[in-house]
Amino acid sequence: MYTVPNLKEYLSDPIQQVADLLTALHEEAGAVQTESDWKVFRDRWMARKGGILAQVNDLWLRAAPPERKRDAGKRVNDLKARVEEIVEATLQGIRTGVPAARADSDRLDITLPGIQRAIGAEHPIIKTMNEVVAVFRNLGYSVEEGPEIETDYYNFEALNFPPNHPARDTQDTLFIANQRTKPPREQLLLRTHTSPVQIRTMEKMEPPIRIVIPGKVYRNDPPDASHSPMFHQIEGLAVDTNITFGDLKGTLDHAMKAFFGSSVKTSFRPSFFPFTEPSAELLVSCFVCGGSGKRSTEPCRPCKQTGWIETLGCGMVDPNVFEFVKDNGYDPSKVSGFAFGMGADRIALLKYGVDDLQLFFQNDVRFLRQFA
């Protein structure tokens, strides 16, 4: 049975004594089962005469030397409050059937709803890429990825950009420093497009293949409302026997309708890329103004009043490209294919009606939250 010790040599910090007292309090509270138990318990701790608190008052406070009185007074007051609280809770405990000692010492209530952490959401560009990829997955395409630090060979040479060819100038390449001692093909750079993954995949997979390649690409473009030194592309490649330009048109027309809505029309315009021949640019009819170039009375901005929006570059794989992977079954006299590459950021801008590309990369949650 607990008794209040004498703090004779008044200890400067009676932590142990306070802890012993509280342990006894909890133990005794835990043993209380009926209201009459409780009355005994209450009186033992709180009776004005001879109750434990009264003894504490006498032995710990009154007996304290003058210079310790203030400190002791505060401690004893805290203890009183604590004892009163537990005594009261013990009564509530027997009335409600929840033991106070447990309710007090075990404050973890597993029935309370947990702390909800906000779940992140897909970034609008990632979301756009996933949606485009999903369209092609449904056509049986699989997803491939490749490194963002790439060699000159994969980024240029095997895509039919010979060394020093002016077509390289269009790519505003960011080169990795200190590569000059390496053979030109092995020199590293930040990939300027996802097209190198075409070669990497053809090296490891024999035809037929149908792949899409989402990823980040880099160019030496200062950031502005429509440019960023880092941006995103989705590349596609289909190689098989007898693939024709008609297959390219049909596939991309279907993909644009699946992505932008079944009412869009597509149009192909001649273009040039070193790794495709012939090459084309694909336009979709403006899904904002419906192709009229006007929005009610206002000029339509997304299509710059032309009624058409450029979405990607494409073409039939140039036989010179197959020459680099000929040994893996890509004999240009036997297989043919088409490829395409689109800028995911531009598509996300158009789709969500955002007018500044930088908003996608500043990652201000007030902006991003709108897409969650």
Site of interaction with ligand DAH (CB under 6 A) = 193, 195, 235, 273, 276, 313-315, 339-341
**Smallest separation (angstroms) from ligand DAH to the CB of 213:** 9
Residue 209 Cβ, how far from ligand DAH at the closest point, in Å? Answer: 13
CB of 178 to ligand DAH, least distance (A): 26
Cβ neighbours for 148, distance < 8 A, ≥ 6 positions apart? 190, 191, 215, 216, 217, 218
- The C-alpha atoms of residue 83 and residue 43 are separated, in whole angstroms, by 12
d(CA 308, CA 301): 11
Phi-psi region of 160 (alpha: psi -120 to 50; beta: other; left: phi over 0): left
CB nearer to ligand DAH: pick between 57 and 173? 173
Smallest distance, ligand DAH to C-beta of residue 313, A: 3
Q: Shortest Cβ distance from residue 329 to ligand DAH (Å)?
A: 20
Question: Is 75 or 210 the residue whose CB approaches ligand DAH more closely?
Answer: 210
Question: In the complex with ligand DAH, which residue's Cβ is closer, 64 or 248?
Answer: 248
* Torsion from C-alpha of 198, 202, 206, 209, nearest 10 degrees: 0
3-state secondary structure 263-322: CCCEEEEEEEECCEEEEEEEEEECCCCCCCCEECCEECCCCCCCCEEEEEEEEEECHHHH
Q: Which amino acid is at 31?
A: A
What's the distance, Cα to Cα, between the start and end of the chain in Å? 62
Length of the chain counted residue by residue: 372
Query: What H or E segment, with its residue span, contains residue 342?
Result: strand 336-343
Q: Output 307 or 315, the one with its CB closest to ligand DAH.
A: 315
Closest CA to 104 of 46, 25, 41, 177: 25
Nearer Cβ to ligand DAH, position 273 or 322?
273
Token couple for 34: 């009926």
Three-state DSSP at 138 gives coil
Which residue of the chain is nearest ligand DAH when measured via CB? 341
Specify the residue, 195 or 336, whose C-beta has the smaller distance to ligand DAH.
195
The position carrying tokens 């419906």 is: 290
For residue 364, the minimal CB distance to ligand DAH (Å) is: 28
Closest distance to ligand DAH from the beta carbon of 338 (Å): 7
Q: How far is the CB of 133 from ligand DAH (least distance, A)?
A: 15
> Which single residue is written with the structure tokens 């300027």?
192
Residue (17 or 192) nearer to ligand DAH, CB: 192
Cβ proximity to ligand DAH: between 17 and 279 the closer is 279
Distance CA 18, CA 342 (A): 72
